[in-house]
């Protein structure tokens, strides 16, 4: 475990936490329930006066000629003296009055008949669906924070109402063994998100995030027991997904005499796959084995569907200074090691622009946002850095090539992988000397063998750790001695 790896591991969750706390989120969680700040509710209503001091037991919300009386720790509120019962009590937390989400659904509509809600049209930005081994994540990104309600969660499908979502529909068929279809339809003034199951129903957990505003629904697979800490990854390495970068209309980097990254890496990746299957007896899946275009998202989705144990993406590098050479290996991080690492990530992420058909894109694809949206990879960061170190060592030791080091940066292609994942830049096609060498079959074989050596070492190390964790402790050793 490197100190750097540890720092990143800690920093990423902190960043997420900071975004929740500071970016003005619409809901907060208290006692496991979603609450809204009363001042926010008041701000969304016209001609409203709020009297809610931290010290008093009661708060009064006056809107138009109506008065809502709220009592600290009580689930019942009075609207002009008439009681309405909420599903959770009103709370005051650190001097801030909080009302359960049901206040927005049950009380606010009774007020808006007199004083109308400030017109805030919420539009759909995007719906994203990603499949992971134990759950499927549906993200509904909207122009402004949106209230939602899980209306039904039946054996065949779940229906989630998105209040006041104007316009925008979506239909997608993940068919990942859990969800057959995700469909966003109109339902009066709202949007209705339907999640249709393939077989048994999943369990839905919803969270609201801001910047950008979005509703994240994690649908957990049924029957599978929740992984216990430390036991989750105790299976041997069985499946590896090898990802040849680029393809089709995305040629990747191009060398001075025309060597295209997409062709080079496809050939090298195939060679690696053949060796891994023969020598390691691991099942190999390719994200592409011909010259065709694959979106970055589909690359990791495949790995997740296959429940792969490792994801290795193979690329070749480019630099405007043609003398630049060497090999570098990356694992994912929201923080780039240095500006050069950031540039490489930007170059590789640029393909996202090629994924949107012309004329349909909103022209503001923010790649870093896409990566940070999905932090599935963060829990595997430690393993990813270990894998990167081992493979990189094997390459630099056998290839007589400049060692540019193991680095971290925000690679979109690694972002969705729910397993240790690395990206190898096998050399610079923009360097005339390296381009020449990279064209040689013999050198490509050398690269493939070097990657195999790294993977072999990683697997050996992995299997050892697996055995150590599974085997019972020898009676002569105290149990504490076995802890890692």
Give the residues lining the site for Zn ion (CB under 5 A).
245, 252, 315, 348
Q: In this chain, which residue has its C-beta nearest to Zn ion?
A: 315
Q: How far is the CB of 184 from Zn ion (least distance, A)?
A: 34
Of 315 and 459, CB closest to Zn ion = 315
**DSSP string of 70-136, one letter each residue:** EETT-SEEEETTEEEE-SS--EEETTEEEEEHHHHHHTHHHHHTTSPBP---EEEEEEEEEE-SSEE
Sign, Cα dihedral of 312, 318, 323, 324: negative
The CB-of-293 to Zn ion minimum distance in angstroms stands at 13
Closer residue to Zn ion (CB): 348 or 446: 348
What size, in residues, is the chain?
Answer: 484
**In whole angstroms, how close is the CB of 426 to Zn ion at the nearest point?**
10
For the CB of residue 452, give the shortest distance to Zn ion in the complex, in Å: 21
Minimum distance, C-beta of residue 318 to Zn ion, in the bound complex (Å) = 8
Q: Cβ of residue 266: shortest distance to Zn ion, in angstroms? A: 12
Q: How far apart are CA 211 and CA 141, in angstroms?
A: 10
* DSSP H or E run through 303: helix 296-305
Comparison of 289 and 457: residue with beta carbon closer to Zn ion: 289
Q: For residue 394, what are the β-bridge partners?
A: none
Whichever of 221 and 271 has its CB closer to Zn ion, that residue is: 271
Q: Which is closer to Zn ion, CB of 264 or CB of 303? A: 264
Q: What is the DSSP letter of 336?
A: -
On the question of a cis peptide bond just before residue 212, with omega within 30 degrees of 0, the verdict is yes
CB of 244 to Zn ion, least distance (A): 10
Least separation in angstroms between CB 284 and Zn ion: 20
R_g (Cα) of the chain, nearest Å: 26
Smaller CB separation from Zn ion, 348 or 389: 348
Among residues 299 and 459, whose Cβ is nearest to Zn ion? 299
Q: Which residues contact 475 (CB under 8 A, 6 or more apart)?
A: none
Residue 413 burial class via C-beta count within 10 angstroms: exposed 0-12, middle 13-18, buried 19 and up: buried
Q: Give the C-alpha separation, 293 to 355, whole Å.
A: 9
Question: Smallest gap, in angstroms, from Cβ of residue 217 to Zn ion?
Answer: 32
* Cα distance between residue 445 and residue 454, in whole Å: 14
The dihedral formed by the CA atoms of 232, 237, 238 and 239, expressed in degrees to the nearest 10: 90
Please choose, from the candidates 449, 446, 425, 454, the residue with its C-alpha nearest in 3D space to the C-alpha of residue 329.
Answer: 425
CA distances from 246 to 128, 265, 294, 432, 444 (A): 22, 9, 7, 21, 18
Side-chain-side CA neighbours of residue 430 (13 Å): 14
Do residues 154 and 101 make contact, with C-beta atoms less than 8 angstroms apart? no
Q: Which is nearer to Zn ion, 202 or 245 (CB)?
A: 245
Nearer to Zn ion, 213 or 416 (CB): 416
In angstroms, rounded to a whole number, what is the distance separating the alpha carbons of residues 146 and 168?
14
Backbone phi, then psi, for 51, in 5-degree steps? -125, 95
| Smallest gap from residue 457 Cβ to Zn ion (A) | 25
Least spacing, CB of residue 252 vs Zn ion, in Å: 4
In whole angstroms, the minimum distance from the beta carbon of 313 to Zn ion comes to: 8
Of 202 and 427, the one with the shorter C-beta distance to Zn ion is: 427
Sign of CA dihedral 139, 22, 365, 263: negative
Residue closer to Zn ion by CB (options 38, 316) is 316
Choice between 108 and 312, CB closer to Zn ion: 312
């Amino acid at each position: 475990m490197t100190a750097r790896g540890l720092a990143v591991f800690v920093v990423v969750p902190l960043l997420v936490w900071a975004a929740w706390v500071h970016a003005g989120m619409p809901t907060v969680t208290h006692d496991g329930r979603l609450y809204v700040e009363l001042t926010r509710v008041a701000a969304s209503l016209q001609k409203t006066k709020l009297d809610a001091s931290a010290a008093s037991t009661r708060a009064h919300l006056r809107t138009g000629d109506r008065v809502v009386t709220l009592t600290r720790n009580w689930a019942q509120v009075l609207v002009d003296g008439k009681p309405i019962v909420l599903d959770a009590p009103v709370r005051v937390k650190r001097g801030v009055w909080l009302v359960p989400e049901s206040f927005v659904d049950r009380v606010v509509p009774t007020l808006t008949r007199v004083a109308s809600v400030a017109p805030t049209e919420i539009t759909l930005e995007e719906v994203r669906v990603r499949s992971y081994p134990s759950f499927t994540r549906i993200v509904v990104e909207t122009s402004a924070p949106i209230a939602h309600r899980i209306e039904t969660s039946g054996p065949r499908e779940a229906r989630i109402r998105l209040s006041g979502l104007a316009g925008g529909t979506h239909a997608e068929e993940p068919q990942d063994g859990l969800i057959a279809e995700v469909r966003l339809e109109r339902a009066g003034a709202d949007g209705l998100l339907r999640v249709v199951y393939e077989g048994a129903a999943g369990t839905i957990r919803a969270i609201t995030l801001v910047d950008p505003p979005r509703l994240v629904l994690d649908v957990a697979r049924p029957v599978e027991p929740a992984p216990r800490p430390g036991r989750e990854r105790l299976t041997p390495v069985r499946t590896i997904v090898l990802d040849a970068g680029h393809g089709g209309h995305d040629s990747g980097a191009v060398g001075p005499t025309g060597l295209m990254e997409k062709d080079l890496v496809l050939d090298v990746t195939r060679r690696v796959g053949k060796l891994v299957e023969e020598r390691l007896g691991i099942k190999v899946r390719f994200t592409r084995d011909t010259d065709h275009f694959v979106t970055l998202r589909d690359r990791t989705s495949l790995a997740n569907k296959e429940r792969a144990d490792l994801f290795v993406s193979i690329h070749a590098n480019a630099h405007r200074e043609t003398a630049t050479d060497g090999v570098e290996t990356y694992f994912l991080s929201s923080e780039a090691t240095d500006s050069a690492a950031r540039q490489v990530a930007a170059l590789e992420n640029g393909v996202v622009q090629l994924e949107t058909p012309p004329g349909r894109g909103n022209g503001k694809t923010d790649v870093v946002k896409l990566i940070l949206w999905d932090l599935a990879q963060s829990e595997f960061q430690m393993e990813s850095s270990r894998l990167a170190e081992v493979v990189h060592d094997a390459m630099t030791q056998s290839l007589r090539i400049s060692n540019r080091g193991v680095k971290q940066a925000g690679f979109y292609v690694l972002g969705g992988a729910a397993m240790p994942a690395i990206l190898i830049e096998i050399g610079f096609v923009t360097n005339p000397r390296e381009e020449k060498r990279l064209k040689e079959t013999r050198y490509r074989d050398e690269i493939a063998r070097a990657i195999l050596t790294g993977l072999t070492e990683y697997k050996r190390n992995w299997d050892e750790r697996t055995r150590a964790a599974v085997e019972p402790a020898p009676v002569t050793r105290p149990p504490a001695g076995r802890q890692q």
